[in-house]
Structure 1
Amino acid sequence: MQGSGDNSSLSNNLLYDFSRVFMKITVQILVGIFLYVNCLMIYTFLRKETFREETRYILFAQTLFTDSALMVLSDTLSIMNNLFYPIHIIPCAILCTVTTNLTICTPLTLVAMCLERYVAICMPLRHADISTSRTRFRGLLIIWSISSIIPLFTLVAYLAVIPSGALLSYTVCSVELMLGKDWQAQARSSMFQVLFLFMIIIIAFTYIKIMIAARGASSENKKLTSRSLRTVALHAFQLFLCIMQFLNPYLEMVVLKIDMLAYAILRYANFIIFIIAPRCLSPLIYGLRDEMFFHALKHHALCDMKPSFIKLAFYACLFLFCV
């Protein structure tokens, strides 16, 4: 009986180790593909002057930059957590603050994209006057300012309660480390709820307005308005996935108390579904669905980069994104 129990325990341990290794490899492959495609798209954006003069492409480029930076930081923190690698408290707090800032910046940029489509469809005669370089600069400044409020509040609140001697210690870095007190977690959660409710209202408003404009549009503009409706709907789905990302830690804590294998699988699944997946939608929406950008992307990827293995990787990434 004891030998049977030992075999069962050994089998469970092997299954746990195999599942963790498989999920780790899967995540790193997906992160590599994501970063490769994003780098190609950033390169395409920088090479073509037309894209640098249009608001929607500038906002798209910002999502590429913030999502790529967020992916690198999140993946680095995930690897360090899996290896239980301790780092100094101060760099950890800075990393967590920057990661939260980038996490909020993406959905705010999505809202700005929806507003840009609303102006283009519902106020076409004023679009050129509204979409100026000064307006774009102010819009980007507002996005980064709002996205900095919650992480800066979290950082200041953390520094206010942590003992001075603890700042010299080392720890396994995670965002939850900065939420030691209940009031910190509750205040942060409340701020996120207000922010995302505000963004949902704006996206719903733009969708309804564009839908109304689509009903009264001429046959020539039907295609453009329908495309804009699908774009706003995809952005709403992205925003939903981003919101779910902040609920994951609470679900993971519950599963952790039940089963370690289920916890490990759930954590990697959440990373793929709620961090990688919403960031993959932006390249799909604006990079592959936009004909002008897609042709420019293909041209620069296949003409400016000569090695055949890069071309093969490019087509493989496009296939995976389309699937």
Structure 2
Amino acid sequence: MADNNSLVGGEVLRLQIKVKLSIVQILVIIFLSINFFLIMTFFRKECFYTTTRYILFAVTLLSDSLMLVMSDFLVIVNYLEFTMQVWICIIIFVVGIVYNIVTPVTLTAMTLERYVAICMPLRHAELCSTRSTMYCILIIHGLSSVPCIVVLSTFFASASFSLYKQYSSCSVEILILHRWQGHVRSAVHQFYFLIMVIIILFSYVKIMKVAKAASGEDKKSSWKGLRTVILHGFQLLLCLIQLWSPFIESTLLQFDFMLFINVRYSKYVLFNLTPRCLSPLIYGLRDETFFHALKNYAFFGLYKRNV
């Protein structure tokens, strides 16, 4: 009787996982389609790919789309219980770790761009030229690579050569061979997010002072910039929750496996998938120029407006 109950329970669990996996695939397709639509809109007008804030916006779209594809690939691979050599997993995680940081660092750069535009308007054209933006993108990727270099350095220092040829399921935990490595990774990530939070708060305070002192159109522009900074702060909060989630999951795994599965699935949908689409979409819709270009593109050019 107990064996029958365990078999029924196993079938129910597999059915639940299949349903959740199907929902994830539907969401990934929808979100990738929206991001692709936003990216195509970006490339349709010269004013977008020659303006700093739009270029950085496109960087977040491309970074988030890449992360959506990679995370979904790992979900499917792990569901199928497909194993691969550790060195292949390391290559996948190198890209994943870097671009997981690229989005919040880019959001911070976008916040600084708004700070320069509102608090230093006379120097905005000089500091935020297209050439400067290209250098900024290189700096963003360089800064985003540091946590990856730290994680890989601790892994290479502890792993034996035979480990790289072993077959394993692709999970980021394979890079953590000792508990102290997890602490180092956590410390580096939290240091990064602390610096980004300080920059966003600094920009918020400075823009708020300008908004209170401004009048007319300047005041309207300043308050709009302030709301943009708040949106970036919210996006950064979601990234921070995603960073803390492994600690919550590891604690739950020790007590209740089903609760761990449900929390991990909910976390993936709420903090991995949804923010990587909805936040960029909201940002795009809030910008009047981008919104009208998006609307014109959506209606196949039937919607006409001078942008």
Paired residues, number: 302
Q: Does 1:265 align with 2:262?
A: yes
Whole-angstrom CA distance in 2 between matches of 1:37 and 1:281: 9
Q: Which runs of 4+ in 1 moved over 3 A?
A: 5-15
Whole-angstrom CA distance in 1 between matches of 2:283 and 2:35: 12
Alpha-carbon offset, residue 8 of structure 1: 5.8
Mean CA deviation greater in 17-26 or 110-119: 17-26
Deviations 1:301-322 (A, max 9, x none): 3327x9xxxxxxxxxxxxxxxx
State the partner residue of 1:192. Answer: 189
Whole-angstrom CA distance in 1 between matches of 2:296 and 2:29: 22
- Which of 274, 278, 287 pairs up with 2:275? 278
Quick check: 1:42–1:61 contact (8 Å CA) kept in 2? Answer: yes
Alpha-carbon offset, residue 14 of structure 1: 4.8
State the partner residue of 1:51. Answer: 48
**Pairing 1:131-210 to 2, within 5 Å after superposition:** 131-210=128-207
Whole-angstrom CA distance in 2 between matches of 1:36 and 1:66: 14
In structure 1, stretches of 5+ residues that fail to align are 307-323
State the partner residue of 1:113. Answer: 110
Task: Provide TM-score, normalisation by structure 1.
Answer: 0.88
Percent identity between matched residues is 45
Deviations 1:175-228 (A, max 9, x none): 111011122111111111111100000000001111111111112223222221
Q: Does 1:21 align with 2:18?
A: yes
Alpha-carbon offset, residue 10 of structure 1: 5.7
Letter in 1 for 2:221: L
Letter in 2 for 1:180: L
Q: Does 1:213 align with 2:210?
A: yes
Whole-angstrom CA distance in 2 between matches of 1:286 and 1:249: 28
State the partner residue of 2:63. Answer: 66
Quick check: 1:63–1:282 contact (8 Å CA) kept in 2? Answer: no
CA RMSD of aligned residues (A): 1.9
Alpha-carbon offset, residue 119 of structure 1: 0.8
Deviations 1:255-302 (A, max 9, x none): 222222222211111111111232124322332121211221222233
Letter in 1 for 2:222: T
Quick check: 1:20–1:265 contact (8 Å CA) kept in 2? Answer: no
Quick check: 1:42–1:64 contact (8 Å CA) kept in 2? Answer: yes
SS in 2 for 1:303: coil
In structure 2, stretches of 5+ residues that fail to align are 303-307
Whole-angstrom CA distance in 1 between matches of 2:53 and 2:282: 12
Whole-angstrom CA distance in 1 between matches of 2:81 and 2:249: 18
State the partner residue of 1:88. Answer: 85
Whole-angstrom CA distance in 2 between matches of 1:85 and 1:10: 23
